Amino acid sequence: MNFLIFSLIQTVLVIALAPLMIGMIRMAKARFQNRRGASVFQPYWALLTLCRKEMTITTQSSWVFRVVPFVVLTTSTVLAILMPTLGFGGFFAQASSVFLIGAILAIGSLFLVFGGMDVASAFGGMGSSREMTLAALVEPSTVLTLVTLALAAGSWNLDGIFASFAHTPWYASHPLLILTFLALGCVILSEGARYPVDNPATHLELTMVHEAMILEYSGPYLAMLEMASAIKLTVLALFLMGLVFPWGVVASGAGIGAMVIGILAMIVKLFVAAFAVAFIESTLVKMRFYRMQEYMTTAYFLGLTGLVLSLLF
């Protein structure tokens, strides 16, 4: 299959499945709480409804407020384009540098902070302040986990890391990387604004981080931000699942049959990731904000231990 077509299929699948990921998490959480819950397709209708609503924009905002949704959605879409989720060897494989991916994540978070601060509301400023604090705490763990994976795979591109673990699974070559995967899971929960770092289903002052920054947005702008958040969570979750469970990973030159199997495997991994997130959110409580350094320190030392043990053994 053509490299460009393969990358296009991978990107379209991730973007199309992103709202489904959110719907599956909500459905699984509802079942854990003995509730029926809404349909897994409800996030699609919610996004369409938001796109049809009018926007309310305060006169105190500047052009920054209007630019933020486009930048945040663009960065999430670029992540879907560059990061391997379905397979490896796509058209943009050489552009999936760990440093570039880290920069893209930082740009999206930074502009989201700008959007929260631009309207000069109490909630927006509070959420932006908390987001920058969390970013400073999570960045060392993010860098450490990516460096560990790069050293273990012998490649500084995420596509190369994905391909390396697809050919030689981690449990056969570096079984102690399980600690690094746990650390990366902690990072993904933070980046995706999920428990125990953030609560995406509340507007309570004591628990808001991500929701506080987008509180002033409405209509299509809010739909863009919600879609961007879903895409980022889906991309990061599928990347981790592809490393942990390297079955069904497709090479760009594979045939139609292998592609179908890879897409089915991708959907199964999405279900597993959604179930894992829902299980975590149903069994853990939201941590107090001033205990976030304990959570991030745990992730950092898990990643550091995985790095040391992988190098030694």
Q: What angle do CA 296, 203, 276 make, to 5 degrees?
A: 50
Q: What is the mean pLDDT of residues 220-225?
A: 95
pLDDT tens, residue by residue, 171-222: 888 888 899 999 999 999 988 888 888 887 766 666 678 888 888 899 999 9
Q: What is the mean pLDDT of residues 48-65?
A: 89
Distance CA 43, CA 47 (A): 6
**pTM metric for this prediction:** 0.93
Task: Say if residue 266's pLDDT is above 90.
Answer: yes
pLDDT value at residue 310: 79
Q: What is the mean pLDDT of residues 28-32?
A: 92
pLDDT value at residue 203: 64
- With a pLDDT cut of 70, the percent of the chain lying above it is 98
Q: What string of DSSP letters covers the chain?
A: --HHHHHHHHHHHHHHHHHHHHHHHHHHHHHHTT-----TTHHHHHHHHHHHSPP---TT--HHHHHHHHHHHHHHHHHHHHS-SSEE--TTGGG-BHHHHHHHHHHHHHHHHHHHHHT--HHHHHHHHHHHHHHHHHHHHHHHHHHHHHHHHT-SBHHHHHHHHHHS-HHHH-GGGHHHHHHHHHHHHHHTT-TTT--TT---TTT-SHHHHTTT--HHHHHHHHHHHHHHHHHHHHHHHHHHS-TT-EETT--HHHHHHHHHHHHHHHHHHHHHHHHHHHHSPPPPGGGHHHHHHHHHHHHHHHHHHHHH-
Task: Say if residue 35's pLDDT is above 70.
Answer: yes
Task: Say if residue 34's pLDDT is above 80.
Answer: yes
Strands 250-251 and 87-88 turn out to be: parallel
pLDDT value at residue 24: 95
Q: What is the mean pLDDT of residues 270-279?
A: 94
pLDDT value at residue 293: 85
Task: Say if residue 1's pLDDT is above 80.
Answer: no
Where exactly are the structural domains of the chain?
A: 3-312
pLDDT value at residue 204: 64
Given pLDDT bands bounded at 50, 70 and 90, which one contains residue 271? very high
